[in-house]
Amino acid sequence: MPFHVSAPRQNGVRGLCTAALVAVACAAGPATAQSVDGRWSGQRGLASEYVGKGLGKSAGDPSLNGTLEASYGDLYGSVFASTARLSQGADAEIVAALGWRPRAAGFAFDLSVMNRDLPGTRAGVDANYWEYQADVSRRIGRVSGRLRVNYTPDGFAATRQAWWIEAQAAAPLGPRARASAAFAVRSADGGADYNAWNMGVKYNLSERWAIDARWYDTDSHALGENYDGRLVGALSFNF
């Protein structure tokens, strides 16, 4: 259901997302909060670089990020925010989502609608847009797999409709470590088409703390430094 968001609406959503970012920072406490109506959870993180859809988004600089989620049964709402540094001036990326996570016939689904905003982008650049995403996952023995399809009818800057299709597989290496790898295809009208992949290991230091080391790369290094391969280390805290 493609549609275009007008400038006044973008500003309103941007304000809502910014307020939600403040909520992420304020709510990042030491424990998960329980309520009668549902459950709150979240994550804080520090990465050597912010990577999105296979591309470097913080110009090689470290990034801070946070996620806050409220769920009720299979339904959830979440806000993710990360520091960024893009050539169009953006200094952050904020993603607000509403979703549904049902299960059927041994498969787990995650269907969501997301609003993505990049505060700090210079005037005249379309920096607020909607995405529609569907994940389907299944475990077979020790290996779990996931297929993700992400679609936007009107993307960032001059990009119009765009698709991101990604396949991921993961397997445990022991009681605390897990290896995973993914391959994705990006196609866009008015934007770059490329293939991207990553592989790495996540290690749980404790119930709440984890570290991740991962190599990201694409087949389109000629398009700019953000398309180059990079090793990214991350530290996260779940609450």
Domain of residue 187: give its range: 39-238
CATH number of the domain to which 133 belongs: 2.40.160.40
Give pLDDT tens digits for 17-40.
444 444 444 344 443 444 446 899
Best CA proximity match to 118, nearest among 159, 148, 150: 159
**pLDDT-derived band at 150, boundaries 50, 70, 90:** very high
Q: Establish if 17 belongs to a structural domain.
A: no
Model pLDDT, residue 24: 41
Give pLDDT tens digits for 182-232.
999 999 999 999 999 999 999 999 999 999 999 999 999 999 999 999 999
* Helix (H/G/I), strand (E/B), else coil: 9: helix
Question: From the CB of residue 206, how many other CB atoms can be counted at a distance below 10 Å?
Answer: 9
Supply 233's token pair: 């280390």
- Please compute, for residue 62, the number of CA atoms within 13 A of its CA located in the half-sphere on the CB side: 8
Domain total for the chain?
1
- Above 60 in pLDDT, residue 9? no
* Helix (H/G/I), strand (E/B), else coil: 49: coil
Model pLDDT, residue 37: 66
Instruction: Measure the CA–CA gap between 65 and 228, rounded to whole angstroms.
Output: 22
Q: Establish if 57 belongs to a structural domain.
A: yes
Q: Which residues pair with 73 in a beta bridge?
A: none
pTM value is 0.84
